[in-house]
Chain A
Amino acid sequence: MTVTDMSQGKRFFASENVYLPHIAIIEKVIDETPGVKTFHFNFKDEKLRKEFSFKSGQFAEYSVLGVGEAPFCISSSPSRSDHLEFATQQVGKVTNALHRLGVGAEIGFRGPYGNGFPLDFLQGKNLVFVGGGIGLAPLRSLIWNAIDNRDKYENIDIIYGARSPDDLCFKYDLDTWDKDKTINIISTIDREDKSWSGRVGFVPKVLEEVAPSASNAVAIVCGPPVMIRFTFPVLIKLGFTPEQMITTLEKKMTCGIGKCGRCNIGNLYVCRDGPVFTYAQIKNFVSSEY
């Protein structure tokens, strides 16, 4: 099974021209951490609001017109479709401009792009989510999707970490999942902190300690590149095969449709062939380019 076999999601063109954005309106802004915000938004066009669909793991190009465009995953779940969400850290030109926007502001949106998570492949399996920092955003879409279709999946384990308690994103979700008896969630922070009574340690180390079984399981990994790099060897040690390891990658995806050239890993474009890959697909290139 290769993730790229997944058929592309339905396309929603503003016109024949794939580069023209739709206008969307911000409906809510949530401060996740000191540098991360979640934006709830909806399309200005009523018809598109009804017709729009996407898959967990897909991303879009968001723009502040006049400033520029940047790619972020859709962090909400298609199973909860009254609005859409994305989360972003304030790190560059576009994200700075986005962070200055409030409720009612208009943004540009093109997408959804990319393949999304292979739901058919995941059904009936034990899901092991391994996330770090804002890397929980794409996983969160799939986690909610799985919770809303709970009978289609076996065990759900979530191992999520951040630098400090303040850097944990989606705390409201973490609390809800913590209370959900059908999910096993472990949160960790990198260094000791007075306000934290939970587990301490880097995500790959905690994963090794928790040691989820590889039997009928798929690990879904997203976080900072350094976390992803150190997580793969741990999973291999735990008995996961390259086909049982899925990650969703982040690159500078300017066009979003496999043309502008900068997001490739070998012959694969993260925007077009990903952003979701099995480790089997990228292992020839991942050690040195990611």
Chain B
Amino acid sequence: MSTSKKISKKDIGKILSQWSQEFTVLVPSKEGNVSKMARWDGKDTRFMDSHRNTVHPVKANFFPPMEEMFSFQKNKEGYHIEPAPPDEHKLLIFAIRPCDANALAILDMAFKDGYEDPYYLSRRKDTVLIGLGCTNPYDSCFCTSMGGSPSDSTNVDIMLTDIGNEFLIEEISEAGKELVAKTEDLQEAKKADEAKAKKVKETSYDKVTRKIDTRDIDKKLLACFENKDYWEKVSAKCISCGICTFLCPTCYCFDINDDSFKKRGARFRSWDSCAFPVYTRMPMENPRGEKWRRVRQKVCHKFEFFPMNFGSIACVGCGRCIRLCPVNWDITQTIESVPEIT
């Protein structure tokens, strides 16, 4: 058996440069106060110093907040439609957190199901994910209750574990193995490195202290669907700002709108949110005009309806909706307080 490899932290720049030959390399970056996965500038490797997790979810790189679907113009022969050119960048995302990689697997299911979504899937195709285990999870993280963990490597190609001056490499997928095989400047790992990584993983796991119990949550939610008192209580402080859905790595609702000037125009799609009353509003009626119905939809979609359709809860426990909510609405409190079936 070949021994595993490791990356010395001082070599990160060299290695990312190699990968940049083949891929568009995205790394955790800061724009003002907001962190997101963005194209590596080819030099700076200090981005690792403060990286706990990005504010923007990784979905934004595949399903942008706004994108053109097609453009059109009108001439004597009528309308001519021109689809937006496909995005053919091969992406490599460096230091993606396990929860965000798991979230992409959930989005993949939604966008592949039935009619395939060409915009998301063309960007997602051939993406390489280099996962980085968490050593400093937030108080709001609860991945260990959602089937994940700070070192979960299920949905990445290569998994890195921070062992001090180096990252220990685990090759997870075939694509990951190939990439490691052709990457220069890697070092051989020692037995002691592996033991150290094991210890780091165990310590990190215990640092995720927020826990929820999701056993039978779909059945419990079905039983309390009509329990207006409960939903009014848990939605009381929500201000319907939608930030929890925009920053959620698994939320994928969108809207479609046209814009035109004279004889040219385009159709766009943009993120939308079930938190907004206009989201479901029809000219004559709005099935979710009341706030408690919208909060119920958000919770039930993630913990009841998505599992019914895809066999998986649509939440990875990244905690963004908790730490970034302006009024401290807390999904874990809501789930923990769903009434038991009587």
Asked if B32 is at the interface of the complex by the 8 Å CB criterion, the answer is no
Among B253, B257, B304, B305, which residue has its beta carbon within 8 angstroms of that of A68?
B257
- CB distance B256 to A65 under 8 Å? no
Among B78, B118, B253, B260, which residue has its beta carbon within 8 angstroms of that of A260?
B253
With A254-B255, A259-B254, A289-B288 known as contacts, the answer to whether A23 contacts B79 (CB < 8 A) is yes
Asked if A251 is at the interface of the complex by the 8 Å CB criterion, the answer is yes
Q: Identify which of residues 256-289 in chain A touch chain B, using a CB-to-CB cut-off of 8 Å.
A: 257-264, 266-267, 272, 284-285, 287-289
B205 to chain A minimum Cβ distance, whole angstroms, is 32
Q: Identify which of residues 216-230 in chain A touch chain B, using a CB-to-CB cut-off of 8 Å.
A: 224-225
On chain A, the residues within 8 Å of B282 by CB distance are 250-252
Q: Identify which of residues 42-86 in chain B touch chain A, using a CB-to-CB cut-off of 8 Å.
A: 69-70, 72, 74, 78-79, 81, 83
- CB distance A261 to B304 under 8 Å? no
Nearest-neighbor residue (CB-CB) of A255 within chain B: B256
Asked if B322 is at the interface of the complex by the 8 Å CB criterion, the answer is no
Asked if B281 is at the interface of the complex by the 8 Å CB criterion, the answer is yes
- CB distance A288 to B305 under 8 Å? no
Asked if A21 is at the interface of the complex by the 8 Å CB criterion, the answer is yes
With A18-B116, A284-B225, A288-B226 known as contacts, the answer to whether A66 contacts B259 (CB < 8 A) is yes
**CA–CA, A263 and B255, complex, Å:** 12
Asked if A63 is at the interface of the complex by the 8 Å CB criterion, the answer is yes
A134 to chain B minimum Cβ distance, whole angstroms, is 10
- CB distance A65 to B226 under 8 Å? no
Among A65, A224, A225, A254, which residue has its beta carbon within 8 angstroms of that of B258?
A65
Nearest-neighbor residue (CB-CB) of A63 within chain B: B258
- CB distance B258 to A261 under 8 Å? no
A-binding residues in B (CB < 8 A): 69-70, 72, 74, 78-79, 81, 83, 110-111, 113-119, 222, 225-226, 252-260, 265, 267, 272, 274, 279-285, 287-288, 293, 297, 300-301, 304-306, 308-309
* Given A17-B83, A252-B280: 15 more A-B contacts, CB < 8 Å: A14-B81, A17-B70, A18-B115, A19-B119, A65-B72, A67-B258, A69-B256, A251-B280, A252-B279, A259-B111, A259-B252, A262-B280, A267-B306, A272-B114, A287-B226
Q: Which 6 A-B pairs have the closest CB atoms?
A: A66-B260, A91-B283, A261-B253, A267-B305, A267-B308, A257-B115
